[in-house]
A = this chain, B = another copy of it.
Amino acid sequence: MEDKTTGIEKLGEFGLIQHLTKDFQYSNPTTLKGIGDDAAVIDKSENEALLVSTDTLIEGIHFSLMYTPLKHLGYKAVAVNVSDICAMNGKATQITVSLAVSSKFPVEALEELYEGIKAACDTYQVDLIGGDTTSSISGLVLTITVIGHAQKDEITYRNGAKEYDLLVVTGDLGGAYMGLQVLEREKEVFKSNPSIQPDLDGHDYIIQRQLKPEARADVNKILKDLEVQPTAMIDISDGLASEIIHLCTQSKVGCHIYDEKIPIDAKTSLTALDFNLDPSTCALNGGEDYELLFTINQSDFDKINTNPNFTIIGHITHEKDGIYYIDKQGSALELKAQGWRHF
């Protein structure tokens, strides 16, 4: 059979970048100069500051190409970076993409990856302004740096939570983790017998949560419209428990969170039970949901409590009171992080 794919050596490094980025357009007026010079040039207005964050996704560590389509991978890589800017209460505006791939990937595979990157750029209105593409000895390493803009007085750090503040999460949790469990199960089935079709029926929601997570880029505007300025914020990439501990440690406070308050989608719960897992444990330790965790002053209770985007899951206490999880039986357990470790 004739191989119709194109080897990346045919285009060369410079040609490859040009080829992959030719359909990208700029949507932010702050992008004064994008790809094509030694550096990109970014403007900002006087009352703003710039936000910068970077994240690396590595084949075999953060994703498996056995079940992650390259287009989804590109989309997710952008979304998780945008999520970091959302967690500062800012708006993501530009990204750079550094890609290291072994020559086993044909140009067509990289086109798929960049299609996903472009789809995310369109969704979040961010401009691809630079990066490089080089060969690696093995596998695929994708590093994205995101730049965002925020009004200086609206930037939300991890360390601003105060005693008596309320702890709030967006959306629902644990779905991405259960999606991964389903994908891993089907991968094992496939390995032992490649002729069996994967059984993903009814798991669309949680698989989407795993493969194509969305950053909560809408939350910044919702909070602004509600006239709520969070006192501290972090995105939930490593699991709720780990993020709560980060936020409390950096704010030098304690907290109580309530099992019964943690928002979990019914599909996530059912799948967890199917796997003999406790849904709350999945929400607490699963990670990769990319929802936001933030704290608000008690005076904002009514504005947040009635809004379907948000769930109040607990409250901030004095540092000496510790970080506690109140379980279904009403017992207070010290909260421990069991987030993902990549080493």
Contact = CB atoms under 8 A, between A and B. Distances in A.
Contact of A43 (B49, B235, B343): B49
A259 to B, nearest CB: 25
A333 interface: no
A41 B41 CA distance: 17
Contacts of A136: 58, 61, 139, 141
A62 interface: yes
A298 interface: no
Interface in A1-52: 8-9, 12-13, 16, 32-33, 36-44, 46, 49-52
A158 B38 contact: yes
A49 B42 contact: yes
Contacts of A41: 49-52, 88, 150, 155
Nearest to A129: B52
Give chain A's interface residue range (CB within 8 Å of chain B).
35 or more
A126 B128 CA distance: 24
B60 A132 contact: no
Nearest to A53: B39
A147 interface: yes
A117 to B, nearest CB: 14
Contacts of A88: 37-39, 41
B61 A137 contact: yes
Interface stretch (A90-98, A166-174, A181-189, A274-282): A90-98
Contacts of A51: 39-42
Contacts of A343: 8-9, 12-13, 16, 103, 135
A211 B98 CA distance: 23
A311 interface: no
A100 interface: yes
Interface string A290-327: 00000000000000000000000000000000000000
A191 interface: no
Nearest to A343: B9
B87 A39 contact: yes
A234 B49 CA distance: 28
Contacts of A157: 33, 37
Q: Give the residue among A8, A150, A155 with the most B Cβ atoms within 10 A.
A: A155
Q: Give the residue among A32, A38, A136, A152 with the most B Cβ atoms within 10 A.
A: A38
A131 to B, nearest CB: 6
A68 interface: no
23 contacts: A13-B343, A16-B343, A36-B250, A37-B158, A37-B250, A38-B53, A38-B87, A39-B51, A39-B88, A39-B146, A40-B51, A41-B51, A42-B49, A42-B51, A44-B44, A44-B50, A52-B94, A52-B129, A52-B145, A54-B96, A56-B132, A58-B136, A137-B139
